[in-house]
Amino acid sequence: MRATVIAVAAGTALLSGASLAEALPPLPDPQLEVVATLEEGPGNIAVTPDGRIIFSHHQFYGPEYRVMELRADGGVVPWPSEAWSSAPGEDGIGLNAVLGLRSDPAGVVWLLDNGGDVPKTVAWNTATDTLERVIHIPAPATRPGSLHNDLAVDLVNQALYLADVGGDTGPAIVVVDLRTGQSRRVLVGHPSVQAEDIPMVVEGRPVLLGEGAEAAPARIGLNPITIDPSYTWVYYGAMHGDDIWRIRARDLADASLSETELAERVERYGDKPVSDGISVDAAGHIYVTDVENNAIGVTGPSGTYRIYVQHDEHLAWADGISAGPDGWMYATVNKLNRSAVLNGGDELSEAPYYIVRFRAVDEAVPGR
């Protein structure tokens, strides 16, 4: 399997000027670069501190291999091994369905396997190429209909924060205590995790769930989630929502707080469009994959959202986004609106798909 590396000079729009000087300083290089051209639709992406690029294959496309690595020579290979990247065997080795994945500062990549009878997180050390640990996420943290989509890794408070878009009790953040392996479901029913009645129209077509006559406009709750480089704030929001919310990581990790006490500590940070993934830099700029506009935007500390970089083809449904060690932000592009799952049962999505990158506004720290 091969991936092609090119650069995109034409068709890239970057907003700048005095009106955006505070929220969006001009980039040192406004060019959007295509890092890889892929034959299968990617899901999310993790970039390790030493620059290794690990990405999931989106489960909507029914991939044979769940997670891949982009090699320096442009090839892509199953990661961390062919056995682990495939469906689980009788020995339990393997992955069912992976969307969310993140690297931590030590180069451990955390995979969020949302499939199977009991979802799990798998931590793999890229420095030693060994399995660190597996943590299962049973009931009641996982509910019927749960889809653990994305995650943030907090090594200061020793916790994982998982975005569950559904479940029979509604969207919620699932907190996994890395000391004990126990998980709990928080902010269930809170406005910050709920979908709003906001349409999503991509390339002139509404995004639908269901097939044929049963297809209906999608309304998806909590999806994007990230944590800042200082491990102070966790940022998150609904896919179908126009708000970015935040809560202190230490509060989210504190199991002694009641649901009421926790809810009182949620803050609105700023605006966003209907979106998929998010990331954050050291200065609090939130990068948002703007799926309706084939763009990636930024919400600055002022709370104002602006489109940052835009391209009709190379940002056709930007999905996951992750900071690299070299001042770049990396994103996956998978044309997900054309998939049968989000297109009323009609499969119109086809290769090529992309991994792209662009310069961060401020310091980009891997693991975000």
Residue 91 lies in a domain: no
Q: Which domain holds residue 162?
A: 4-86+97-359
At 51, the amino acid letter reads G
What is the pTM for the complete model shown? Answer: 0.93
Three-state secondary-structure class, residue 198: coil
Residue 364 lies in a domain: no
The CB density around residue 12, as the number of other CB atoms within 10 Å, is 17
Residue 368 lies in a domain: no
Among 119, 98, 95, 122, residue whose Cα is nearest residue 108 = 122
CA distance 289 to 274: 9
Residue 211 lies in a domain: yes
Tell me what pLDDT residue 367 has.
85
Tell me what pLDDT residue 25 has.
54
Tokens found for residue 208: 């639908």
Are the beta carbons of 64 and 113 closer than 8 angstroms?
Answer: no
CA distance 136 to 130: 18
Tell me what pLDDT residue 356 has.
97
The number of folded domains in the chain is 1
Q: In which residue ranges of the chain is pLDDT below 70?
A: 1-30
CA distance 75 to 28: 29
Among 94, 259, 263, 234, residue whose Cα is nearest residue 163 = 234
Q: What is the CATH number of the domain that holds 335?
A: 2.120.10.30
Residue 117 lies in a domain: yes
| pLDDT (tens digit per residue) in 135-169 | 999 999 999 999 999 999 999 999 999 999 988 89
The CB density around residue 265, as the number of other CB atoms within 10 Å, is 14
Tell me what pLDDT residue 326 has.
85
Edge-to-edge strands of the sheet including 305-310? 13-14, 305-310, 295-299, 286-290, 275-280
Report the Cα–Cα distance between both ends of the chain, in Å, rounded.
Answer: 28
Residue 105 lies in a domain: yes
